[in-house]
Chain A
Amino acid sequence: MSLYRAELRRLVLRRLTRWATVLGLAVLATVAVGVFLSNQKIDDAAWAKAEVAAEQDWQQQVRQTEEFRAECEQAAAQGDQSDRFPPDCSHISPPPPDAFPAEQYLPSTFEFRASFGQTLTAVGAILALVGFVVGSSFVGAEWNTGGMMTMLLWRPKRVTVLLTKLAALLTGLLALAVTTMLLWFGSFWLIATTRGSTEGMTAGAWQSFALTGLRGTVLALVAAALGFGLASLGRHTAMALGGAVGVTVVGQFGLGVLLSLTGAKFIGAWMLPTYVQAWVEKEVVLRDFQVCRVSPYGCEPETLTLTWQHSSGLLVAGLVLVLGGACWAMRRRDIS
């Protein structure tokens, strides 16, 4: 317990932890402020203004149509055979007023039920990034500066030290993620109340958002554990960060290009971000437009649905592989 307390304190004292947290929260705050400023509440005055704008646009369209029909009739009278006008000028008719609904002229407004879920994906991704960087640096810097060796002189149980460090990291990140999620929910509820609508928030909708938030938090914890494990395996922060860049460049861009060239189906199914998205958003539907299924509505692409259960399998496999390897290496390799 004393080691756990010390590691928790070390995590909080670290400069990178503080800076990464501040930076992540600043990005999220910027998004929230941007959403707040770019939306507004729809009241009677906004509706009246939208109706006037719609009416004006319709009137202008009617005028332009009348002018065009007059030109068409004039050209027909002069025997003009060009393609500029239809053969029968009576087909030129003004649009109905319904084609200009007032809703389209309303300013942007934030509807909590419709839009909040998407923002949770962004929070999950940013927390995961912070978790990965802080996690890899937390143990990588220990190896790099000799701190791990010093700690092992005090507590010679290698795997216990490594896992206690991981537990402290995950506790710290969990506290950050839960606080951020609560602040995010609160901020966007406030934005919806003052700059939009909170209508339709049933118990089911709340439950769905809560589960999305929970999956985002779990994603951040998994990313932190993966970063921690990779940096511990390589005994350097750069191992985790370099590995992430390598996977992105070679494993994702390179693989994407290769699969495109070979005409493979559902390229997205080979991309890690797809699984991250499927994890947070519950499912992702991939479409292959190379294969059409004929239907009364025309060409329907073949689809592949990836669910959060698929993603969870991948995340668990990655965790077992990386953390298992890190524990094995910690136990077996000499420390110099």
Chain B
Amino acid sequence: MTAVLEIEGLQKSYRSRRRGTRNALDGFDMRVEAGQVHGFLGPNGSGKTTTLRTLLGLIRPDGGRMRLLGHEVPADLSAVAGQVGAIVESPQFFPHFTARDTLSLLATAGQVRSTRIDEVLELVGLRDRSRERVKTYSLGMKQRLAVASALLKEPRLLILDEPANGLDPGGIREMRTLVRNLAEAGTTVLLSSHILAEIQLICDSVTIISLGRRVAFGPVEKVLATHSAGTVRVRLEVVADLPAASEALTRAGFRVTREPDHLLLAGVEQAAMVTRLLAGQGLYVSELVWVEADLESVFLELTATAPAPGQSRQVDQSARPTPVGQGSTGGWGA
């Protein structure tokens, strides 16, 4: 398949006299194939928006290579900007302009035919409110307007950063349908979102980023299959024994997540090892089942951002991925 977006070893650091150097992107790789809906996931502060801004020429990278639709960027960005529609972070518009004025100004600047304005307003459901000032719009309506502005160019690649932000349930479903329809019409969509169930539903492939590095990538099913293997749910006859069981299993090298009435164990090769170990401690299992993970649990495991009881996780507390060169697949994400 042809790649429409390729990133290799992207680096970006922010230097501060007080806080020193922070690597927002630390050798990040990514590849998005043509015609796919690709999910781009990562905890807050992991480098998602920095990646998108760098790709779109808003931020100057410190190193690495990027290609969009076959052109090196940022050097050749002007050649492809007309074919890339994007929303980056929360949509912001002049509050006193109407939606129609806003789109019309963009259409004039981008030499887009004016009839396209009505088409995109219809697509995002703002046709009847298009002559109202943006300041009267709700967050969800602004989000729709942002999507409309990104669609105005009839892009080959559509980059949407949190497009469902502020949308009502109906709006989220409409957005899902819109994205699928666009993909079916040949538009490649790169979707960054924290609504993981949504990503799992509509994306063909995903890239997960943590602390500026890629921690997982590939088709959604493959990522789920790879990371759900070896996860079991354990219930005990006596719930009060859960802390003791958790301690014993952790000592034995299992990755344990404590829930109120059960434990989730990752990295289990044979279920019998668990039962044998617990029985040896006088702790008796009432249920032990293999769990098929969803994208959310895979994400939480890979980024190590699952909430722990009694602890408040800080923004930069995520999984430190394997350094470049040690197990990294490298290249254009291949």
Contact = CB atoms under 8 A, between A and B. Distances in A.
A230 B96 CA distance: 24
A332 B106 CA distance: 24
B111 A153 contact: no
Interface residues of B, number: 30
A96 B108 CA distance: 78
B243 interface: no
Interface in B168-196: none
A144 to B, nearest CB: 9
A20 to B, nearest CB: 14
B53 interface: yes
Nearest to B149: A150
A15 B96 CA distance: 7
Given A334-B58, A335-B53, A335-B58, A2 B92 contact: no
A118 B111 CA distance: 47
A2 B109 CA distance: 5
Interface string A130-156: 000000000001000111011111111
A145 B110 contact: no
A150 B149 CA distance: 9
A153 B56 contact: yes
Interface string B138-160: 00000000000100010000000
Contacts of B60: 332, 334
Contacts of B84: 153
Nearest to A15: B96
A334 B105 CA distance: 24
A309 B92 CA distance: 45
A298 B98 CA distance: 70
Interface stretch (B73-81, B210-218, B271-279, B280-288): B73-81
Interface string B17-49: 000000000000000000000000000000000
A336 B52 CA distance: 11
Contacts of A10: 105
B86 interface: yes
B57 A13 contact: no
Name B's interface SS. Answer: loop
Given A149-B88, A156-B77, A156-B78, A2 B108 contact: yes
A6 B109 CA distance: 5
B59 interface: yes
B92 A153 contact: no
A13 B58 contact: no
A9 B104 CA distance: 10
A153 B91 CA distance: 13
A155 B93 contact: no
A145 B106 contact: no
B101 interface: yes
A154 B97 contact: no
A153 B94 contact: no
Interface of A: 2-3, 5-7, 9-10, 13-15, 141, 145-147, 149-157, 332, 334-336
24 contacts: A2-B109, A2-B111, A5-B108, A13-B97, A13-B101, A14-B94, A15-B96, A146-B91, A147-B94, A150-B92, A150-B149, A153-B56, A153-B84, A154-B81, A154-B109, A154-B153, A156-B57, A156-B74, A156-B77, A334-B58, A335-B53, A335-B59, A336-B53, A336-B58
Interface of B: 53, 56-60, 74, 77-78, 81-82, 84, 86, 88, 91-97, 101, 105-106, 108-111, 149, 153
Given A150-B92, A332-B60, 16 more contacts: A2-B111, A6-B108, A15-B96, A141-B94, A145-B92, A145-B94, A146-B93, A147-B93, A151-B106, A152-B58, A153-B58, A154-B81, A154-B109, A154-B110, A335-B53, A336-B59
